[in-house]
Structure 1
């Protein structure tokens, strides 16, 4: 099979790492890719993930048997639609179906329309009405940019003054057009987790759960980020909770999207809150999470390609259910100092390519090679250090042991990834 993988981050490095292990693959091309993926396939750094026309042309040129879309930006540009028109199987939803992520107003209206449990909400386009709407809610206030904001478009404000300031920032252009509308939600009390689902448009199969760490600093403090670490499996996903989430959220979501004429194909990330009333939807993502994808790919036991292809072709009936290794995988994100607001680029990283042993994988998320061949930071989240262990404690120990061997003064990381799983429950 000839496979085109779209993207350049840690999620895509993990996907490339897993796809390259498949005996079905004869050629793997990654566009644009990153230095960490160079040994896994052919890189096309000349093509951006948002260049839907260029990527579709590349898929036709290489006679791709499957295109796997990593980032949401490519989905928002309608890459899946172009590939469908060309008759090329695509693992990723159409532009219309991807609205479950690309528009929070769309997803909240969809959930409300079909009685799928989520927080109460309102959508506002101007500062005055948004501030006045705060009367309907109580602190802490949850304020979200409607569109794509690289995982940073959510604010949880502890008091009204902070909420009003956040409304002004979002509607004032902080996230560009993504913040032209804001969604204000009721705060949901509980523990959050991410459940992943593969869908062929009418059927779905669960693909494991994980727990992300969104805040920049230890103790879940600091600004919201795209994710500073993750681990899988997460204790919040008990058998009962997972069954309830599948019955009340997953199955009706896939069913109702199909009934509305926008069948969902690909992976659906279901952000869930475990509340006293049961699972409620926090958000949807139309792709694998980042860094959740990294831990899922390391846990997956077997070939991922048949599952991706079955979803893309619209028929999961013949695909084997995904199986996962026992034990735990943890991922710690190494970010550039200043992230998420003003990450410093260009600092040199040494030791990221050494052999850390069979239980550790380092995925590149935002790196570049300088002219002198040195590896340097080229983004906010730069490296993902992932480790497998029999339990959370062992996996975490292995991850931080590996991090200690990487020489990068220009970066920082959280030291408490996986803390919830280590606390008495």
Structure 2
């Protein structure tokens, strides 16, 4: 098949590499990044928001179908645009992508489906939000920008002063173009991620993963887009996994269909195991990042065939996954990320080619046989091993060989799976 993947990050790199396991596939990534070329991926200089140019490329090159990686084009209606041009695309419509684009929309869906989540209040008015924080709130408390914020629009405020500061940034300063905030109770417990392929009423769960969002070891500091991930999750039992499927994914997919939303694509559930059971932290409308980088390498079935069957609404009888060991991935990020990252040299392309482990590239560009940082999260190094300690030793041995001046990485990714 000829397949177009939309996006430019490590997630899209991982999707492309999974598709290329079938040697008969031809895979393009738009816009991709210079690092992906080291992995043999064909990149196309069309930005993810240039829907017309992307559709023209798909038509001209007789692309069998398109897969959308990031959330922004989905929320902005790329699936609707492609469908209007009679082009197959794997990803939810603009209406369906509201499960990520609007936390308010998703909270209402969960209420209708009877899915457990944190209690919450919504505010568009700064004074009303401030009054609530001064009179009715219990701390710590969670403050979320209602729209997209590249994984950085969630704050855990320890006290009233910090909480008022955050809602002021969002509702008065309109950080992340925010016009509405959701203020919800702080949930304590073990977090994990559950993704599923969805075809209207049908869904096919993937193995559980766990990502590490805080910038520093021991889950300290501000949230990032994700500093690494592990799959499967050793400290989440099979029983909890099945409960999550039955009480979260199944009723959510059913409720979407019931409300007339024929969802096609990936549903991502960010979950937490509390003392009162599983609760939903968030839903996303696409493959998680960095979870995809450790989940898809465990896929034994052909990803391209799975997606083709879903797009033609054919029932899939079985999806096979690796049953032993684990996959671990660690992100190298720019120093100063996520506040004010520095840019600079990351090493020669030969340094990266000689790495024996899988590298998924994100915000990098090439200059004279060198890779240069081009954003916050730069590249993820991933491996599959039988034990966590083996995986960590392999990854940190390779990361420590890389040019260190402009990068930073956590050294405890996977710590919850000991």
TM-score bin (small chain): over 0.9
Q: Distance in 1 between matches of 2:302 and 2:35?
A: 21
Counterpart position of 2:40: 40
Unaligned runs of 5+ in 1: none
Q: CA deviation at 1:255?
A: 0.9
Q: Residues 334-413 of structure 1 correspond to what in structure 2 (within 5 A)?
A: 334-350=332-348, 352-357=351-356, 360-370=357-367, 372-413=368-409
**Contact 1:352 1:362 (C-alpha < 8 Å) held by counterparts:** no
- Tell me which residue corresponds to 1:139: 139
1:7-406 matches, within 5 Å, as 7-25=7-25, 27-38=26-37, 39-45=39-45, 47-134=46-133, 135-173=135-173, 175-177=175-177, 179-315=178-314, 317-350=315-348, 352-357=351-356, 360-370=357-367, 372-406=368-402
Deviates more, 1:374-383 or 1:342-351: 342-351
Maintained 8 Å contact 1:213/1:227: yes
Partners of 1:122 and 1:62 lie apart in 2 by: 48
Decide whether the 8 Å contact of 2:270 with 2:280 is kept in 1.
Answer: yes
Residue 342 (structure 1) shift: 1.5
| TM superposition score normalised by structure 2 | 0.96
Task: State the distance in 2 between where 1:352 and 1:231 align.
Answer: 25
* Residues 121 and 185, structure 1, Cα contact 8 Å, conserved in 2: yes
Post-superposition Cα deviations, 1:6-29, rounded to whole Å, max 9, x if no partner, equal 01100001111111111441x211
Contact kept, 8 Å, 1:349 with 1:374, in 2: the verdict is yes
Structure 2 CA distance, aligned partners of 1:219 and 1:126?
Answer: 35
Measured in 2, the distance between the counterparts of 1:212 and 1:419 equals 11
Q: State the secondary structure of the residue aligned to 1:382.
A: strand
Q: Is the 8 A contact 1:143 1:183 kept in 2?
A: yes
C-alpha separation between the residues in 1 aligned to 2:262 and 2:393?
42
Superposed CA offset, 1:61-89 (max 9, x none) = 21211101110111012111112222322
Deviation at 1:302, TM superposition (A): 3.2
* Structure 1 contact 300–324 (Cα < 8 Å) conserved: yes
Hey, what's the Cα distance between the residues in 1 that align with 2:24 and 2:92? 23
Distance, in Å, in 2 between the alignment partners of 1:88 and 1:143 is 39
CA RMSD, 1 decimal: 1.5
CA deviation profile, 1:240-265 (whole Å, cap 9, x unmatched): 11111111111111111111111211
Q: Distance in 1 between matches of 2:351 and 2:175?
A: 32
Contact 2:197 2:203 in 1 (8 A): yes
Specify the SS of the correspondent of 1:279.
strand
Count of residue pairs the alignment pairs up: 415
For the Cα contact (< 8 Å) 2:35–2:371, is it kept in 1?
Answer: no
> Could you tell me whether the CA contact under 8 Å between 2:199 and 2:264 is conserved in 1?
yes
| Over 4 Å off, 4+ runs | none
